[in-house]
Amino acid sequence: MFGWTGVFLNVDLNRNKAVAESYDHSMALNFIGGRGFAAKILWDSLMPGLDPFSPENKLIFAAGPLTGFGLPNSGKLVVAAKSPLTGGYGDGNIGTWAAVQMRKAGYDAVIIEGKAETPVVLHIKNDVAEFIDAKDFWGLTSFETEAQLKAIYERTAGIVSIGPAGENLVKFATVVSQEGRAGGRPGMGAVMGSKNLKAMVFDGNNEIPAAYPKDMKELSAAGYREVMTKPNYAFWKRQGTMSTVEWSQENSALPTFNFREGVFDKADKIGGFAMEKIKVGNRGCPQCNMTCGNVVKDSDRKEAEIDYENIVMLGSNIGLGNLKQVAALNRVADELGLDTISLGNVLGFAMETSQNRRIPEEIQWGKFKETKALINDIAYRQGFGDVLAEGVQAAAAKIGHGSADWAMHVKGLEISAYDCHAAPAMALSYATSSIGAHHKDAWVISWEVQFGRESYAEEKINKVIEMQRLRGGVFESLTVCRFPYAELGFELEWYTKYLHAATGRELPFNTLIYAADKILNLIRAFWIREYANNWTREMDSPPIRWFKEPLTEGPLKGSMLDPMKYNNMLKKYYKKRGWDARGIPKKTTLKKLGLSDVAKQLGEYVKLTE
Ligand code: PTT
Ligand code: SF4
């Protein structure tokens, strides 16, 4: 097999054993890699109803057939498991040398189960896996852990680790790499912590088999050159995702005061141009010439790497308008290994709950020092931080007194940084995303602004489905970065050329889209199997706030979502997907996608419609 190494590494932490296993061609062709592999493995091997923190949960690091070849923007992998935050399928995408090194070590995925008796670091060098005592690392931040491991292992090693939040099973702890790349929003870092796995060090020096190595080299060089010719390239290097702050403010989509508003009076202080004034450099994922991580000196005089989502969720969403301070909170979240999006949500939720006097704690909007202390309490599960460490849905359930009305999540995963009071398509995208409220599958809001905010037209449903297939299906299974395509207009044909050179196969886009649909339906089946008869179509609803409390400021003052129109939209979405009125894939849909065996199993948990 070319392109894929054809090998998974199965690691059992109960027994300190790692066994390489060849997998079938059909797995590669049907599920491509990354998210596709993870979904298939989790579907096949997890007992429904399993506690996500039990040793039987599997933590999967999976790459795609283009990873590690040196192609532009290809240094990423997917980290996945059953999520402790949502109880459903969870994953994230992280740019890291670990992706490159895992493939060079000979593996398309590393699948970890069991729980080490005491904390370990797993070192994988080609076909040798070592389980190293990690007692000296336990308790360190992710930055400290990586720095210390770097000093011990090869300079080229790729490292992923967790911080104290993962160790303390904070439900939105992430896996961190390279002091500023973080992945696995729905608690993948906590699953790693539950296994007593502090870090993984990957090192490999095998050739990854390519069908046409010469073409690969030429295409790679041409790809890098092409990226640089794109009109927006220079501005992207200046601001990366940060220019979205100004865009969101102009379009009333900037999460402000826990998504109560879509504009923030200090937006210009935390935006892309403000960032340029304090920027000291660029960082990024391996094998990328777009390096979109903006490095700034934060208010603690330390270097922090910042992106749009982080800055907005820890800035406007909690009423903080000082960029250096926001950057410091971002860095602290990276050190502790907390997802910044969920963190900004739980903080905003806590501030609003305090303001509404539903808790005795005084937690005020926009207070830097106090917020930093609260973040620490969340990571170490101290005091009220312990309640927030469970995520916004569980915190609201515990606090009660109507606080669920301002708990901003879908299926337990907190909303990422686009306010949808006036964006029905983006709301549908959040509501039906594969992991809960995340923008990665169908970021349609900029298209929606041009199409018309008020509309609930069919085109919007089509756009959400198209983007879910492309971004959530194709990009997540190839595990390559979607930014060249999404932000610079890098043409999709490049990927079919890359795939041909890597695998020797013609894999046109319609084949990839078919695989994407298969993967997305399998993930849907996973959720349904977990929730069985507790599954309801309300699980595909955006937060109630967007239906009940109109914007009170900005150019779209008075806007909110219409529940009847949204429901109608969701009904049509299900129909286009081939799902029944509950949002459950029909037997015929699964069959058409080559998932008859999945239909059979799923039918044991819920009654399927023909
Ligand atoms: C992603 C989510 C995002 S999406 C951001 S900023 W973004 C937040 N980043 C965090 C962070 O940083 N530190 C932290 N402690 N928590 C964070 N949580 C948030 O996580 C990231 C880039 C970005 S920056 C985006 S949009 C794109 N995402 C891609 C994707 O999902 N798939 C893909 N094929 N390509 C992508 N390219 C872009 O990658 P999650 P990264 Mg991230 C510091 O992890 O779980 O997927 O959630 O991966 O290497 O940091 O790159 O404005
Ligand atoms: Fe990573 Fe940004 Fe490059 Fe994408 S564009 S590979 S997120 S540095």
The secondary structure of 514-582 as a DSSP string is HHHHHHHHHHHHHHHHHHGGG--GGGG---THHHHS---SSTTTT----HHHHHHHHHHHHHHHTB-TT
Look up residue 258 and give its two tokens: 């826990």
Report the pLDDT averaged over residues 195-220: 97
Answer yes or no: is pLDDT of 154 > 90: no
Ligand in nearest proximity to the CA of 177 = 1
Atom of ligand 1 nearest to the CA of 471: 34
For ligand 2, say whether the CB of 95 is within 6 Å of any of its atoms: yes
For helices 368-379 and 323-336, the axis angle rounded to 10 degrees is: 10
**What is d(CA 278, CA 59) in angstroms, rounded to the nearest whole number?**
38
What distance in angstroms lies between residue 178's CA and the mean position of ligand 2's atoms? 13
Q: Whose CA is nearest to atom 4 of ligand 2?
A: 481
Reported pTM: 0.97
Distance 305 CA to ligand 2 centre (A): 12
Instruction: Kindly give the distance from the C-alpha atom of residue 288 to the centroid of ligand 2, in angstroms, as a whole number.
Output: 6
Q: Answer whether 321's CB lies under 8 Å from 155's CB.
A: no
Q: How many residues does the chain have?
A: 610
Q: Is the CB of 236 under 6 A from ligand 2?
A: no
Ligand at shortest distance from the CA of 293 = 2
pLDDT of residue 155: 85
Q: Is 77 in the pocket of ligand 2 (CB under 6 A)?
A: no
Q: Does the beta carbon of 481 lie inside 6 Å of ligand 2? A: yes
**Residue 113: which pLDDT band, with cuts at 50, 70 and 90?**
very high
Instruction: Tell me if 286 CB under 6 Å of ligand 2.
Output: no
Closest residue by Cα to atom 16, ligand 1, is 339
Return the structure tokens found at 250.
């102009």
- Does residue 480 surpass a pLDDT of 90? yes
Taking the chain, what is the end-to-end CA distance rounded to the nearest angstrom? 37
Residue 169 and residue 286: Cα distance in Å, rounded? 29
Task: Name beta bridge partners: 279.
Answer: 296
> How many CB atoms lie under 10 A from the CB of residue 491?
11
pLDDT band at 76 (very low <50, low <70, confident <90, very high): very high
- Reply yes or no on whether the pLDDT at 145 is more than 90: yes
99 in contact with ligand 1, CB cutoff 6 A? no
> What DSSP element (H or E) covers 176?
strand 175-177
Average pLDDT over the chain reads: 97
CA–CA separation, 120 vs 201, rounded Å? 11
Average pLDDT over residues 93-112: 98
Report the atom number in ligand 1 closest to the C-alpha of 305. Answer: 43
Q: Is the CB of 414 under 6 A from ligand 1?
A: no
Ligand 1 binding pocket includes 92 (Cβ within 6 Å): yes
